[in-house]
Structure 1
Amino acid sequence: MAPACVEPEEVFDYIVCGGGTAGCVIAGRLAEDLNATILVLEAGPDNADLENVHMAGGWSNMFDSETDWNIETEPMKAVDNRQVKCSRGRFLGGSSGVNGTLCIRGTKQDYDDWGLEEWTGDKMFGYMQKAETFHGKDWFKADTSIHGNSGPLHTEPHDLAPISNLVKEAMVESGLPYTPDMFSTGEISQGCGDVARTVHQGIRSTAADFITKGYRRENITIKTEITADKIVLEKQDGELTATGVLTLSKDGTQAEYKARKEVIVSAGAYCSPPILLRSGIGPKKELQKHGIECQVNLPGVGKNLQDHVLCFMFYEVPQPSLTNDYLAYHDNAIASTYALYQEKKSGLLSTFPFGVFGFARLDERLKDSELWNSSPREPGRDPMGLAPNQPNVEFWNTELYGGPKQYTDFPVDHKHAFAMCALLFNQHSRGSVTLKSSDPLQNPVVDHNYLDNPLDMLVLTEACRYANEIVMNGKATKDVIKGTWPEGLGYEKWTKREEWEPYVRKHATTYKYALHNGTCAMGKDGNPDAVLDSKLRVRGVKNLRVADVSSVPRVNNGHTQMVAYGIGEGAAELIKADAKGKA
């Protein structure tokens, strides 16, 4: 589209393209140098007045609107050609304002496996700790040695609903021993525990807190509702150099902002690749399709897309008050629940309705599988490429009915339901992010290619079977399950792996709130698919980095919220160190 006009340029030391999780962290940390000037460009609005960001229970109201990127995958063959909605926060703070608030860091081995000196497990856990201020509760036995106490991100444990305590007992009985803070330590691959959440005193803590509230500094300029179109590239001393950013505002106004030192792209796994591609950085043949001159031929841009694909399995319970449905769906309950939140910042809407979590290895359960036994494996690794200290899958329960938008059978007639969720780690299938056109206002084409690899299907199918066994065989849970919700699916009676595969094909989905990454991956010198070096610098371009979850070479075996905070903290340290070296 043609710009309405061209504004005069403004000049800053650093320009951060994307005010999401990593971008806000980077901007906040760079602004600690009061002599530096930082511009944050965010495509969506400010989050200050978005009640459903700060009220964690209002998360779903942020989707299917201008505060959602409204991205939907291409049809995917292995899941019955279904398309899956991949909602992401489109406002200051990004998906940190709509995610499940979970602080599940994965294992240290996950980051050691990247093979990059700057991003070892110890360093990543240190970065995640730096971002955090942890607030304990009397009942929660926290490992205080691994929690932070001075970061802008405020976290605390989640008080479980009755159904979650029963599921916890069933998990322990099934071979997942309870360790309260296991998802913070990164040392346990088989067990269950509680999860710290990015909520404190009933208010969701987001990455925007790094540059707002008590951390708003005069040297940060925040421009919202402005889309980063492309990076301005110039030849300086014979080197291709990023010198600024061309943008498009909500009213169609085009503007160019100049960067004295660096441009940092932090738009996430879906939106960082398009910025590079529109700038002429990416696979040459793909750029030519859209009439874009190739400045740097980097075939890895937009490739290597990874996600944590999962399945929800719902169960009806006849006993009232085991789940929290009565606080949300029955009669006029949501009105009083909302009034309680407004008055006291407490109750159902003050938190996210996920209960207890578990990690599991599946070696023993898969030893009868011909595919598992015949698949190649590296020494000390299973066919999924995982070591014994890394989990194959994750389980958790919801504390009421709810999940991705395709689940619409709410128990409004005084019934009660919860889900068991099974999530696949270290999937082998890879997807892609490509341009639909050179128009910055058009969403990219996203193909997650879920479960294309047969091993992925095998492991997720076995995970669903295991999750069902936990609730149907556990002494604490088996007598409170009436059957599936809605009725008729019958999986509470399934015992064979082959019974589960059709269900997985029909119901495999995404956790929605930014568990995807890898599309601008870091890598060692000589890796032809690496978009970035180990310091997040775009290969072939000076003064340009990509710093967000798109930079991750391989997705961690946990959730990616804390990875995004860790990448932000680490990136800021690398940028500061490079600036000091140049001074």
Structure 2
Amino acid sequence: MVQELHTYDYVVVGGGISGVVVASRLHESLPSASIALIEAGKDESEFELAKYTKYIAAVRGSSIDYSYDTVPQLHMDGTRKKAWAGRALSGGGAINVGAWMRGPAVDYERWAKLADDDSWTFDKLLPFFRKSETFLKDNPDPVLHGTQGPMDVQLMKDIRRGKCYPLAEPLKQAWLEVDPSLPWNEDINNGYPLGMGDCASTLIGGERQFPHQKFPLDGVKIFTKSIVARVLLRRDPSSPLPVAVGVELVDGQKIHANKEVIICAGAFNSPKILLLSGIGPALEIHQHGIPVEVDLPEVGKGFRDDIVMRVAWRLRHPERGLSLGSPALTDPDLVNNLPLDFFVWTQCPMDEVRKALEKDGIVDQEHELLHPKVVHQENYIMWMAGRSDALLAKLGLSNDGKFMCTSTYNLHPTSVGSITLSSADPLAPPVIDPNYYATETDRVIWRDALRKQMRVLLDTPSGKSFVVEEAPPPGYPQLTLDSSDREIDRRVGAFGETGSHPSGSCAMGKVVDSRLRVKGVRGLRVVDASIFPGPIATHIQAGVYVVAEKGADMIAADAKPRALSAEKL
């Protein structure tokens, strides 16, 4: 049977946040260009688990999640961890928690340095941050915030119409009793989030905003349930570099690109597609019987993800309606939205970080983790015993209003992992190895973050007024102020999980250049979180949008000179 021939100017692989933004913006900037958007999943915007905030835990592991497993993690008791990735139009935007945080400016300054391109600094990225958002707040700062973008963004306290959970103020006071200098940050998206601050979110009114519905895709040809097997490359005698001319799907169908192929498949699958196409470490590709097209050693090799661990705490007066599940907590603005009030971003003592870096063999007084504006850690409380049924089952608890849950992150991991192929079969999952908790620096920063949270709850008058004790899972000692490093590490090994911020597997400066062009290939770019050249100490949704906005702008800018030249002919 003869396959139908599909040819477009631009072929975008991956219909997640990045792919949707790139396809939409390219059509806006280049209205005469033909654009195809290829997605392995389908439109799941009416899928109840994805649509409503109250089901946010259940959507992970559902039919619209790849629900990958990592390899056994050597430094986490040899356990496998889940690796979530959206398999639907909107991708991660269909399963994430909606946090809209840009992170510290200093992290983007490091991006610019690694890319040797100051257009990646925080200040230079502000126009692209603004472009995606409509910030729903009276008189927002026009330098920092957009008011005409596709995505509605709102502070969580405003989403709840100004209401706070009953223990919000005592919790804030408890943090100040531990550190009186901890500032309240009125705008955590100003590039300097250290301190306490209200989270901004795209989950508004109890419902998710799906990027593929918010960014116009009229005029874009969308292929759903279409899995890309490889990028098609052509060798041109007039050029030493191969040219990307399209993609082949697993059913053998080919979709050709006159101008560019743009991979937006995320930190797990973008490197996988490159490797399947013969682009990556030559030895690894050859081992799977794939012809080597471009020997690019760093494909898949800069992968990072952070760890979160959730800990349940027994409340002192549950009858007062302090947590979800309590019959006394009935206000729909509190019950139907994410049950948290504010976040706390902190630093580990710099002397401890410096000593840990030295143990890891790093002696660098200018290391990014020693910068005075760096963010190492994040803590927040969810007013529920646990976010998922799986976690509650492991803890032996239920959301009955008697417990609350802390979430602790090391947002700036130094442990580096990899994404590799399991086989030459494009339907096989990639081999995901985050190499969690592998460095002394990560362990020191993470333990300090948890101990800060324990001091807040167990060693302050305000904390002790509403918390009795930790509710340990069966078979584990209770976490206390006297818990040893070994006890903490054992708990992290068993209960630490992905922070769902995977990045770096096609890093800028190593795999792509600062215009996101794959090195050694013409007409091929990667535009998603895989190009992050280093971590940003935050939840990465806003960072993914800014990469996509800037990437689309660069692609359009590179196309226009060619178009003008053609017009002159």
Question: Scaled by the length of structure 1, what TM-score is found?
Answer: 0.87
Q: Flag the 1:280–1:6 CA change in 2: closer, same or farther, 3 A.
A: farther
Q: Flag the 1:516–1:322 CA change in 2: closer, same or farther, 3 A.
A: farther
1:368-407 matches, cutoff 5 A: 371=356, 376-381=362-367, 385-403=369-387, 405-407=390-392
Deviations 1:288-341 (Å, cap 9, x if unpaired)?
1111000000011111110111222210114235543226xx79x9xx99xx7x
Q: Flag the 1:407–1:82 CA change in 2: closer, same or farther, 3 A.
A: farther
Partner residue in 2 for 1:343: none
Aligned match of 1:553 in 533, 537, 549?
Answer: 533
Aligned match of 2:34 in 28, 32, 37?
Answer: 37
Distance in 2 between the 1:413 and 1:188 partners?
Answer: 31
Aligned match of 2:315 in 292, 314, 317?
Answer: 317
Q: Does the CA contact (< 8 Å) of 2:77 and 2:490 recur in 1?
A: no
**Matched AA of 1:247:** L
Partner residue in 2 for 1:102: 99
In the alignment, structure 1 residue 166 sits paired with structure 2 residue 162: no
Distance in 1 between the 2:340 and 2:84 partners?
Answer: 18
CA drift of 1:543 comes to: 0.7
Partner residue in 2 for 1:490: 478
**Matched AA of 1:572:** A
Partner residue in 2 for 1:227: 227
CA drift of 1:415 comes to: 4.4
1:557-568 matches, cutoff 5 A: 557-568=537-548
Distance in 1 between the 2:168 and 2:210 partners?
Answer: 26
Q: Does the CA contact (< 8 Å) of 2:165 and 2:334 recur in 1?
A: no
Distance in 2 between the 1:314 and 1:365 partners?
Answer: 30
Partner residue in 2 for 1:187: 192
1:79-158 matches, cutoff 5 A: 79-114=76-111, 115=113, 116=115, 117=117, 118-136=119-137, 145-158=143-156
Secondary structure in 1 aligned to 2:525? strand
**Matched AA of 2:248:** L
In the alignment, structure 1 residue 22 sits paired with structure 2 residue 18: yes
In the alignment, structure 1 residue 326 sits paired with structure 2 residue 325: yes
Partner residue in 1 for 2:403: 417
Deviations 1:261-305 (Å, cap 9, x if unpaired)?
111000000010111111110111111111100000001111111
1:233-382 matches, cutoff 5 A: 233-236=233-236, 237-238=238-239, 239-248=241-250, 253-320=251-318, 321-326=320-325, 348-349=335-336, 351-363=337-349, 366=352, 371=356, 376-381=362-367
In the alignment, structure 1 residue 570 sits paired with structure 2 residue 543: no
Q: Flag the 1:412–1:287 CA change in 2: closer, same or farther, 3 A.
A: closer
Q: Does the CA contact (< 8 Å) of 1:378 and 1:385 recur in 2?
A: no
Q: Does the CA contact (< 8 Å) of 2:247 and 2:254 recur in 1?
A: yes
Distance in 2 between the 1:149 and 1:444 partners?
Answer: 39
Q: Does the CA contact (< 8 Å) of 2:246 and 2:254 recur in 1?
A: yes
In the alignment, structure 1 segments of 5+ residues that lack a partner are 341-345, 524-529
Question: Scaled by the length of structure 2, what TM-score is found?
Answer: 0.89
CA drift of 1:164 comes to: 3.4
Deviations 1:383-432 (Å, cap 9, x if unpaired)?
x6341111111111112122463442474484421122221132221111
Aligned match of 1:65 in 62, 67, 76?
Answer: 62
- Aligned residues between the structures: 543
Partner residue in 1 for 2:566: none
Q: Flag the 1:430–1:412 CA change in 2: closer, same or farther, 3 A.
A: closer
Greater alpha carbon shift after TM alignment, 311-320 vs 226-235: 311-320
**Matched AA of 2:455:** E
- Percent identity reads 29
Aligned match of 2:71 in 65, 70, 74?
Answer: 74
Greater alpha carbon shift after TM alignment, 400-409 vs 45-54: 400-409
- How large is the Cα RMSD of the aligned pairs? 2.5
Distance in 2 between the 1:322 and 1:303 partners?
Answer: 48
CA drift of 1:254 comes to: 3.0
Greater alpha carbon shift after TM alignment, 431-440 vs 43-52: 43-52
Distance in 1 between the 2:420 and 2:16 partners?
Answer: 21
Secondary structure in 1 aligned to 2:227? strand
1:190-205 matches, cutoff 5 A: 191-205=195-209
CA drift of 1:221 comes to: 1.2
Deviations 1:467-518 (Å, cap 9, x if unpaired)?
111122233221211211247742134365555333233332212xx30100
Greater alpha carbon shift after TM alignment, 192-201 vs 57-66: 57-66
Deviations 1:518-576 (Å, cap 9, x if unpaired)?
000110xxxxxx11111000011111000000001101011111110010000011001
In the alignment, structure 1 residue 540 sits paired with structure 2 residue 540: no
Distance in 2 between the 1:85 and 1:310 partners?
Answer: 12
Distance in 2 between the 1:413 and 1:577 partners?
Answer: 52
Q: Does the CA contact (< 8 Å) of 1:517 and 1:555 recur in 2?
A: yes
Partner residue in 2 for 1:509: 497
